[in-house]
């Protein structure tokens, strides 16, 4: 598996694709080519791994992404639990299909932060459900972009 660190990610160029993997959906976001802004893109409703991965890689190619940023749901104490292992398994399975650089980013509370923002914006429950996964992917990706800009 091509798991990369922040230094390798910083040395690369091109748009980054963010992924918020849930049990029922995959939220997707993309950065601009200069890696300043993350934008929510879409949500894939999970069915089976092969068609989900094909859709994911179609988007990756269409957007010219150079790496995949995957939100890693760590426990509040920083340890890995079953959800984090499930995400690592997803990354491993994706990398078995295609050699893409993968960077994990701690996504603790990203969905909660996005949901809170949507509630503050008085978004309806149905609109929140439709938007939360791709917005969480954007939140995760923006965290990485901000970290890359802060690197020396």
CA Rg, the chain, in Å? 15
What does the pLDDT read at residue 19? 96
- The CATH number of 6-150 is 3.30.420.140
**DSSP bridge pairs for 43:** 27
Looking at every residue in the chain, the average pLDDT score rounds to 87
For the stretch 50-109, pLDDT in tens is 999 999 999 999 999 999 999 998 877 878 889 999 999 999 999 999 999 999 998 866
Give 35-85 as a DSSP string. Answer: S--EEEEEEEEP--HHHHHHHHHHHHHHTT-SEEEEEE---TTS---HHHH
With a CB cutoff of 8 Å and minimum separation 6, the contacts of 47 are none
Per-residue pLDDT at 136: 87
Domain ranges of the chain: 6-150
Question: pTM here?
Answer: 0.86
């Amino acid at each position: 598996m091509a798991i990369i660190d922040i230094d390798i990610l910083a040395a690369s160029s091109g748009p980054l694709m963010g992924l918020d993997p849930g049990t029922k959906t995959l939220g997707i976001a993309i950065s601009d080519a200069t890696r300043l802004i993350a934008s929510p893109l879409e949500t894939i409703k999970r069915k089976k791994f092969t068609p989900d991965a094909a859709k994911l890689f179609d988007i990756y190619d269409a957007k010219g992404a150079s790496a995949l940023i995957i939100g890693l749901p760590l426990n509040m104490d920083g340890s890995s639990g079953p959800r984090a292992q499930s995400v690592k398994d997803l990354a491993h399975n994706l990398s078995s299909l295609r050699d893409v650089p993968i960077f994990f980013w701690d996504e603790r509370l990203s969905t909660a932060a996005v949901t809170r923002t949507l509630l503050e914006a008085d978004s309806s429950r149905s609109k929140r459900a439709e938007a939360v996964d791709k917005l969480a992917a954007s939140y995760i990706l923006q965290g990485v972009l901000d970290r890359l800009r802060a690197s020396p």
